[in-house]
Structure formats: C-alpha cells, structure tokens
A and B are shown apart, each in its own frame.
Chain A
Amino acid sequence: MYVASTRSPGRTPKVSGRLPGTVFALGAVSLLTDISAEMVTAFLPVYLIYTLQMSYVQFGLLDGLYTGATAVLRLVGGFVSDRTSRPKLVALFGYGLSAVTKLVFPVVGASAFGIGGVLATDRAGKGIRTAPRDALISLATPPDQLGAAFGVHRAMDTVGALCGPLLTFLILSQIGTAAGPVFVVSFVFAAIGVVVLLTFVRERRSKVNRSRVSLKAGVRLLRDARFRRATIAAALLGLVTISDAFVFVVLQKVSDIPVGFLPLLPLGTAAVFLLGAAPIGRMADRFGRWKVFFAGHVLLLVTYAMLLVPDGGFLAVGIALAAHGLFYACTDGVLSAYASGFVPADLRATGLATIQTGQALTRMLSSVVFGVMLAGMAMSSVVIALVAVLIAALVAVALLVRSA
C-alpha cells in the first residue's frame, strides 16, 4: 500500500513538499466508496424497473428529499465529530452505515418502504461522514498545502465515481441483471474502504487541551466576520448553481447534438474535474483560494452562456463541459481548503459542515426554482434569467468579500 510510504505527517515540509499519507489514504477510502456508491446508482433504475417492476417515479421523489436531508445530517456529523474530537470514528460510522446498506438492498426485495429505508440509510451515512472526513484531511495537512490536499482527494474520489458505472456495466453485460453480483461487489468495495480507513488513516489527536465543544461555540463561529462572509457568499453562489442534470439536458437540446450523447455528457464534466482538481488545488494554494473559488463561478458563467448558443454542436458542448468540469475543480475542494485556513481546529468539522450545508441547500432550492420556471417559460428566457442572476450574485459576492 503506497499510502503507508509517506512518513512523518507531523513535520511541515516547505514548498511543494509531499502531501501527508493520510490525504492519500482518505482519497483511497473515497475512491473505493464512490465505486461502491456509483455502482448502485447506475444499477438502481434497472433493478427497480425490471427486477422489481416498481414505479421509478416515486424513488425520484424520495431521492430528492434524501439529498436535502443529507445536507442537514452533515451538520450533525460535523458537530458530533468536533464534540467528541474523534472525527475518524464518526467518519467510520458513516462509511460503515453505507457499506452495510449494500447487503440490505436484496433482502428488502420489492417493498417500497424497505427500498426507501435503505436509500435513506445510505444517504444518512454519506451525510454523516463528509464533514469529519474533510476535517481529517485538513488537520493532517500543513496549512500551505490545503488546496493541493483537497484537490488530490477530490480527484481520487472522481476516479471512483467514473469506475463504478463501468463495473456495473461489466457485471450486467457478462453476468446479467440479477441483483446479487452488483450488490455484493458494491459491498466488497465499500467494506475495503472501511478497512483502509480503519487501518491506514491516522487521526492526529491534538495536543492542545480541547475545551469541550458546545453548540454555543458552533453558533459563535458565525460571529466571526470572515466565516460568516464565506458562508453567505458560498450560499449565494449556490443559489445560482443549477443541478448538473439540468445543465446536461439543456445543453443537449440547445446545441442540438444527438440525444444519444446525453448519458455521456456527465463523463465529460467528471473527466475535466478529475484532471483539474489537483493542479488547480495547488494553484489555489499559491494564488489565493478565495480567488480561485470566485474564478470557478466565472467559469460556470461560461457554461451557462453556452446554453444560449443555438445549434452550437459538439464545439459548444466541449466548451461548456470543460468550463463545467473546471468549475468543480475550482470550487469543490477549494472551498473546504479555504475554510480550513481560518476555522479553528477544534471546530473544523462543524465549520466545514456549516459552509457546505448552506451551499447544498441553496443549490437544491435553485434547481427547484429552475424547474418551476422551465415548466412555464421558454428555455432561452429561463437561461437568460439564470445568467443575469449569476452575474448579479458574482458582483454581490465580490463586493461582500472586498468590504472585508
């Protein structure tokens, strides 16, 4: 295991030093877990529609609901991990919970209640583990390398997300649509992820005598002007970030590429994100994380602008997906790196969870609003409105942060 090769995580290497092994170990955990999760995501429609002959619509509804619930559970996971100062244990619980659900799926069979419950538990595990995991990364990494560390982690995570559906395809085409093999293989990857976390991730117990973290301390975090501004800015920009699915669907329609390419568009964004995450993370360390985070949203503007180019064909799609992937590379890990730079260590998980939850909730809201607008208006008017609001949000955020 190459993860164990990097020693002395405690010492701070100066310029372009190697990242601590913990970052790679946590990257490996996320890679394995994402293989497991994305295998199931790719299989679920087939499983529900053909094997169980269940109505897919209601699960779409439930899934949207769970995504919202996950955002709130992130706060709980973050707070508990700070309160107990055992982020590894809390993360382990989250990863373990999701791993176990993979074996429960075939057991509940065609019960709508059962499937709903298993999906909810899986999502709960994801919500709980995110903040302590990011806290572990940030606490193991020297402050001047946080961007690089989160970049490497997100890149590894995306490798897993790309491999999962590929594995599902191989199983479906070679063995068939029987549920057993997909769920068992998915469980094995998740379980290996848990073992890697348990074995290869070291938790740095802080030497400082921690004052017990209270809810009050968590709330007090919002009194810090820098933290408050970052939270508001991230939430504001989340408000103009529509879901990926909308971007892909509108892009396919407007650019007028064959509809058969629709399932492949997410791969474009993911591939660019994968390649860009680590170098852009390093860039963020050098030039300023907030600047890169802001620049990412300017790239999102490029993506939205491409949604206004009729019959743009594959060129427009290429530009849009490149900008979309770079948007993620500039924002996803970079926001956590930015916040880790000033949130106190004993409130790290709570702080990261707060910023991420605000962003996730406003993103969900924006997708609902966007959907309602699409139901009543022509697509180009909706996209023009979106572009205008994004520009307004960028100006507002620039002023907000400059006023510091």
Chain B
Amino acid sequence: MSGHRVLVGVIAIVLLVLGGGGYVAYIAVRQPAASEAAPAPKIGDVVYIDLDGGQDRVTTLRPDGQRIASGLRCQRFHRAGGTSVCLRLAGPGPTYEAAVLNADNSVVKTVPLPGIPSRARVSASGNIVAWTSFVTGDSYTVPGGFSTRAGFLDLRTGAVTDSIEHFDATVNNRPLKAADVNYWGITVAADDNTFYATLASGGLNWLVKGDLTAKTARSVRQNAECPSLSPDGTRVAYKKRPTPLDKWSLVVLDLRTNKEITLPETSGIDDQAVWLDESTLAFGAVKGEPRTAVYFVPADGSAPAKAEIHNAASPVSVK
C-alpha cells in the first residue's frame, strides 16, 4: 500500500476524531447548572421531569409558574406520601435501577431493573413502590420484540418482589398458566394491598384486580393498559385502543357503574396517566409537535386534553 494512501487515511481519522470530540465537548460545556439543594416541593406544586437538553431533571412547577430544577435525574418519576421513586440509569450495559427516596430526598433503597424503565408508582401512603420495566428482545412471539417485568417494594417490611408474573392469575374465571404472562402498570389502592395492573398473554391483555399479599390477580375486563386508580378508588383511568394498529386513547372506567368514557383529544397517549386530584388527569405525550408535553384533562370528559408543560414527562401533583 502506498504511503500516500496511509497518510490520507490517518489524516481523515484524525479529523473525524477531532470533529466528533469537539462536538461532544461543546455539548458537554453547554449543560445548564442545577441547584443540588432545591427546596422541597409543597402541596399544590406539580413535579415533573424536564426533558430539555437531555438532562432529565426532576423539576418543581409552583402554582405561580416558577420552575425549580433539582439535582435528581430520572427517566420516570413518581411521588406520594413522602416517598419518591426514580427509575434511572445505573451502570454500564446500560442497566437501570429503581431508586426509592424518602421525604429528605435521600436514597433509602435501590432495586436493579431487568430492563428499560417504563412505569413508576408510589401508593398514596408512600408505603408501596411499584415499577415496570421493558425487557428488550425477548418478546415471546416476535423476535426483537419486548416483554415487561412489573415489581414492587413494601417499605414497611423492606421486601422486594422483583416480578409479579408468578402470581396466581385468573382470566374470565379460568386459571392462566401460560409461560408468556406479562404484567405492567401496577397501581395500588389506599389499603396498600389491592392493586390494579395490566396482564397480557398470547397477544391479548386485560385489566386485572389483584391482592399483593395473597399473590393473586383476576381479570376485570379486556383491553385496558397502564391503569391508574383514582384517589377515592372509584375509577380507573387507562389507555385503550380498538386494535393493535390504532392509537391509544385515555379512558376512564367507573368501577361502580362499569361505564367507560373516552377522554377527548387524548389519542396518541402512551403513558400511565396520573390523577392530579379527583377530577383531573395528567399524562405525557407527543401530539402533533416534535416535542413531548404534559397534558391535563378533566376526568369526566367535559373538556379536551390541553398541553400544560412543554418538553416534560412523568407529572405528579404534590398532595
């Protein structure tokens, strides 16, 4: 090989390294500073993940519009009863973990996740922390697809259940024994024991109502994903789509009357909605614009969903 060619090659490599390195350095120094000692959020605040610049900082939005970024970086976040859960990057792989924080914002427990963070929930009392992660590449029917693992932590005992897939599941009054059982989107009731979640098997999914202590789950109705129980426990909000080719919409099921309402302008949601109060739901979605926003929508379907916080995800109200 000619010396000329080698020289040109080496110069090209040097230029590529300098160009790429320069770009990365430029992005790195442009990162905004965050206040590590951000004041604790107060009742009435909305806490969310600010996606701007890829920093994913947990940020507090005050009723007066003031925004305070904290040093905590998460892919998914939820808080209730003084307990916070932050699903975040943990190590090379990359691997992820669920970090559980107390009211002082110090980490009390970390649980390694089997895959990419998907859903995070804390029960109203702050005692039960639940999460879901995607496990990539192990879809049971499509190579390269995905499945999920949903687990929970009981802070009163410190016991971690990595996955609830071994729970005794009953679908349409028949025990379900298939090996491809998947759960996602756990939401726990005020008694810290009753839960709702989505159970999937063989390409179908159901809203299930379960018991964390008895380790059981029983189908309530078909085709309902990522449930979210209202604070008073009378309604469940979930995403629903007629067929797997359609977009999801946010639906509220009244457990007393068994009636469903589809909330207007929520098409395209792919999130576990959160109850800001008894009458308002919030969720993150990309709709029509290139960036994600947090939407608020009345739970009775009386008004369309409206973008309230731009470039944000994982909203939760401070109660």
Contacts and interface: CB of A to CB of B under 8 A. Distances in A.
Interface string A131-150: 00000000000000000000
Interface string B93-113: 111010000000000000111
B37 interface: no
A197 to B, nearest CB: 10
A42 B94 contact: yes
B143 A192 contact: no
A184 B24 contact: yes
Contacts of A195: 9, 12-13, 16
Contact of B141 (A169, A177, A371): A371
B144 A199 contact: no
Nearest to A262: B114
Contacts of B114: 252, 259-260, 262-263
B223 to A, nearest CB: 15
Nearest to A197: B9
B146 A60 contact: yes
A54 B286 contact: yes
A1 B64 CA distance: 61
B39 interface: no
A260 B113 contact: yes
A382 B140 CA distance: 12
A371 B113 contact: no
Contacts, number: 205
* Chain B residues touching A, range: 35 or more
Interface stretch (B131-139, B208-216, B302-310): B131-139
Contact of A187 (B20, B89, B151): B20
Contacts of B315: none
A310 interface: no
Contact of A64 (B111, B144, B180): B144
Contact of A53 (B147, B162, B284): B284
A259 B16 contact: no
Interface residues of A, number: 76
B134 A45 contact: yes
Interface string A29-65: 0000000000000100110011111111100110110
Contacts of B20: 184-185, 187-188
Nearest to B55: A176
A53 B179 contact: no
Given A4-B1, A169-B94, A243 B137 contact: yes
Given A42-B94, A51-B51, A199 B9 contact: yes
Contacts of A181: 23-24, 27-28
Interface of A: 1, 4, 42, 45-46, 49-57, 60-61, 63-64, 67, 109-110, 165-166, 168-181, 184-185, 187-188, 191-192, 195-196, 198-200, 202, 243-246, 248-249, 252, 258-264, 267, 364, 367-368, 371-372, 374-379, 382
